Amino acid sequence: MNSTIKSTTAEKTFPMDRKFFKALLIITKPGIVALSLVAGWTGLYIGSHGIPRYYDFLWTTLGLGLATAGAATLNNFIDRDIDSVMQRTSARSLPSGSVSPSFAYMYGTGLVIVSLLITKIYLGTLVTLLTGAAIFTYVIMYSLFLKRTTPMATHIGGIGGALPPLIGYAAAHGDLDTHALILFLIIVVWQQPHFWALALKYRNEYAKAGVPILPVAKGVKATKVRLFWYTLALIPVSVLPYTSGMSGIYYLATAIVLGVAYLAFTVRFLYSQKEKEMFLFFFSIAYLGVLFIVLILDMV
């Protein structure tokens, strides 16, 4: 009888533990961590001029992954009031009560501290400074101060989001040069139309939460026009790896084809009556992934 009670209690407790750990994973935004690591690995590979040393790969992956997870957790902590208002985010770990705010703060801070210790001990001062700058830009400047006050916040947040390839490059190369800055510039330009495509879909929820993102502050038409100009700018920016001697003709062809296709989809959206187009959001993810993969494969 007692054994049956213990077994039943254990069966009830385990799902609760599993749910809690799942909430801890979700709060780190694994999708953003994955994109950050892909960008970091690209910088690492190019900075190594080939396959990176295993310990550079290991410590860069751990340092950058934990830094991104920690920053995302602190972003969730700061945005918990906004997330509770927006339907898209109301089921996240903090608004749903799966994780307490105090625990999320300690968890995120702990991840950030560990990431900076790893980069300092194993990758050096420059990588640590770049990692710290990415965290500071995203958590403090973007999440804490600018997101609730100006539509320009995404430009500042985009700087932090574009630092991972510099982190990877510096880890392998020991310093930064023109090639590293080109990778940075590609992501800086790419991030704006990528985010705005998503923001258009949820603009009413952002408005309800009082977040003045571009579609809320300037309207749908102005956002569609900005989408066009940034997508257009992405074409010459994306060919810089070829003109700088970083990559070969296969990359150039891929960058032009992808860029023209991206622009064509954006123009179609610009002249349509649609107020949202999630295809552009998903295409932007595929665009960056394919672009970086071909860049690595066709590196000179």
pLDDT digits (tens, 9 = 90+) for 69-80: 999 999 999 999
CA gap 89, 78 in Å, rounded: 13
Beta bridge partners of 174: none
Instruction: Summarize pLDDT for 82-136 with one digit per residue, the tens.
Output: 999 998 888 888 998 889 999 999 999 999 999 999 999 999 999 999 999 999 9
Long-range contacts of 236-239 (CB under 8 A, 24+ apart): 237/185, 237/186, 237/189, 238/186, 238/291
| Domain assignments of the chain as residue spans, ordered by start | 14-176, 179-300
pLDDT score at 186 = 97
How far is the CA of 42 from the CAs of 52, 60, 183, 288, in angstroms?
10, 11, 9, 11
pLDDT at 109: 97
The pLDDT of residue 14 is above 70: no
**What is the predicted pLDDT for the residue at 172?**
96
Indicate whether 252 pLDDT > 80: yes
Domain 14-176: give its CATH code.
1.10.357.140
pLDDT value, residue 93: 87
- Mean pLDDT for 180-193 is 96
